[in-house]
């Protein structure tokens, strides 16, 4: 296990150098996105041959930002400054990622993502996409929302806030030294599936011994 400092955009080479258990301090511009955002991207951008004209500008913006970048499963708590109207993150804890499993593989492929941040891990489709397209799953520490918010140095922009609401909006943020751990890598390894398999094996042994 090693420690890395990575800056967005991240290269395929740098992502494929990461292994499960490595710690990373992540810097650069990333985007938050949860259920509504993923469903929206799939329906309007990914599984269509004709992006609606009204959404073309957002599509081009997201494509530019997400290429080589990271999407963060996060529903932030924010505040707006009175002096200049700029947004700030008050809390930025990770959301349970498995809810995005039906979408994430296609989002990784379509937008050229290098990483996904969340908690709890993801499933087989996302793991396969990580290997095929060069991406990893970064685990952020749950229960440290205020600490993680300190790594958010600037809210660059926000999209779909009025339509989706604050937690579900696309928040474009600049982070510095965002602390994460690689728990799914581009080499087919997922600590989440390993823990689940070992737990099932242990349960089976216990059940057998009781019988």
List, for residues 8-26, the tens digit of each pLDDT value: 999 999 999 999 999 999 9
Strands 152-159 and 115-118: unpaired
What does the pLDDT average to over 152-171?
Answer: 97
β-strands 70-72, 23-32 pairing = parallel
What domain count does the chain have? 1
* Structural domain range at position 90: 3-210
d(CA 172, CA 135): 20
CATH number of the domain bearing residue 101: 3.20.130.10
Model confidence at 48: pLDDT above 60: yes
User: What integer pLDDT is reported at residue 57 of this predicted model?
Assistant: 96
Whole-number pLDDT of residue 141: 82
143: pLDDT strictly greater than 80: no
What the block records as the tokens of 5 is 């400092």
pLDDT in tens, 168-205: 999 999 999 999 999 999 999 999 866 556 544 554 55
Q: Which residues are catalytic?
A: 38
Model pTM score: 0.90
């Amino acid at each position: 296990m090693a420690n890395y400092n990575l800056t967005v955009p991240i290269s395929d080479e740098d992502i494929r150098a990461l292994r499960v258990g490595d710690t990373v301090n992540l810097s650069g511009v990333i985007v938050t996105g949860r259920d509504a955002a993923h469903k929206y991207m799939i329906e309007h951008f990914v599984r269509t041959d004709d992006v609606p004209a009204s959404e073309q500008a957002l599509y081009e913006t997201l494509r530019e930002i997400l290429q080589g970048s990271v999407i963060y499963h996060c529903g932030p708590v924010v505040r707006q400054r009175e002096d200049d109207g700029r947004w700030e993150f008050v809390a930025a804890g990770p959301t349970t990622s498995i809810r995005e499993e039906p979408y994430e593989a296609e989002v990784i492929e379509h937008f050229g993502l290098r990483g996904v941040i969340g908690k709890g891990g993801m499933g087989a489709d996302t793991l396969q996409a990580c290997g095929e397209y060069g991406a990893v799953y970064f685990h952020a520490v749950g229960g440290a929302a205020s600490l993680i918010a300190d790594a958010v140095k600037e809210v660059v922009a926000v999209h779909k806030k009025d339509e989706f609401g604050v937690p579900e909006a696309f928040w474009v943020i600049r982070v510095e030294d965002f602390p994460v751990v690689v728990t799914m890598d581009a080499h087919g390894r997922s600590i989440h599936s390993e823990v689940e398999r070992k737990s099932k094996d242990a349960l089976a042994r216990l059940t057998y011994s009781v019988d």
